[in-house]
Amino acid sequence: MFQATLPYPDLNPVLLHLWIFSIRWYALAYIAGLLLGWWFAVRLLRNKSLWIDPPFAGNAPATADDIGDLVVWATFGVILGGRIGWVLFYGTILCSVSPHGAMCLPPAGGDPLPFGFLTDPLRIVAAWEGGMSFHGGMIGTAVAIWLFCRRRKLDTVMVGDIVASVAPIGLFFGRVANFVNGELWGKVTHVPWAMVFCTHYIRATNGGRCPAGLAPRHPSQLYEAALEGVVLFAILQTGIHRFRWQDRPGLTAGVFFLGYGLFRAFVEFFREPDAPFLGPVSMGQALSALMWVAGAFLIARALRPRPVVV
């Protein structure tokens, strides 16, 4: 017999209903992450002490106006990349390997994924049914940064460091929103802080049932919020303000990729996988391994000996 010692809060995923529209905490999490990330990035750029050494020589890698415009590009990158990434990584690749996973089955009739994308193409864009990939959103954001910097003639790596340094803010709010929604729960456990992810709101949006069942589970969303959000943000800001990582372009972004990949892969041991992927390796861990490679490459590139100026 399982017994949870911490009750899962009976939270309504919808903050407010306005006529035919609903304002959801998940959408507000995206907005909060983007706005606070924008604010903090501008604050970094206006801190002149951060940009006094080479390669900056007193000039920040971008202006406050540049970052304001980049937020618009990044927003499209996050949304489009997140959805396309989910369709490709999870809806197509993962569902091809594990076609009987819950996420691969249609919500109400129709064919299971990935074949369901062909018979009902609307499901490709049906993000309201669930399905956003962080790794896809990261790729979309990286493409948006590259295109933006190319247009503005800015250094992509230096601007990427700025974005990476504030990205954990969005990750924190996103994972808290997952917790509010009662989704992406953890594995069944006996730990004293386990929770039963079942409320009348969850039942109401899932045909009267609770997909996570009635057994207490790890609140893995909060683990990710703490590690990928709070801890990673603290590491990056310490590196910038104390160890001047910004003087080595690419180092901050490299630590972000490596840190996120390690934290995500670790939490996957406590998180219920969407569906089996490669034996004990989940899709999240497989994608995070690619981030280790990208992070290691950026760090090695940033730490190369600088050319001696005679």
Comparing C-alpha atoms, which of 207, 29, 209, 22 is closest to residue 128?
22
The reported pLDDT for the residue numbered 196 is 95
Torsion of CA 290, 293, 298, 304, to 10 degrees: -170
The per-residue pLDDT for range 68-104, each reduced to its tens digit, is 999 999 999 999 999 999 999 999 999 999 988 878 8
Comparing C-alpha atoms, which of 278, 163, 284 is closest to residue 223?
284
Comparing C-alpha atoms, which of 181, 190, 258, 265 is closest to residue 223?
265
The per-residue pLDDT for range 238-264, each reduced to its tens digit, is 999 999 999 999 999 999 999 999 999
CA distances to 22, 79, 168, 303 from 165, in Å: 32, 20, 7, 18
**How far is Cα of residue 192 from the mean position of the Cα atoms in its chain?**
27
Asked if the model's pLDDT at residue 108 lies above 70, the reply is: no
Q: 281: which strand partners? A: 278
Q: Which residue has the tokens 């840190």?
A: 259
Distance from the first to the final alpha carbon of the chain: 74
Peptide bond into 114 cis (omega under 30): yes
The reported pLDDT for the residue numbered 309 is 54
pLDDT band at 106 (very low <50, low <70, confident <90, very high): confident
- Portion of the chain with pLDDT greater than 90, in percent: 74
The reported pLDDT for the residue numbered 255 is 98
The reported pLDDT for the residue numbered 188 is 96
Stated pTM of the model: 0.93
The reported pLDDT for the residue numbered 12 is 86
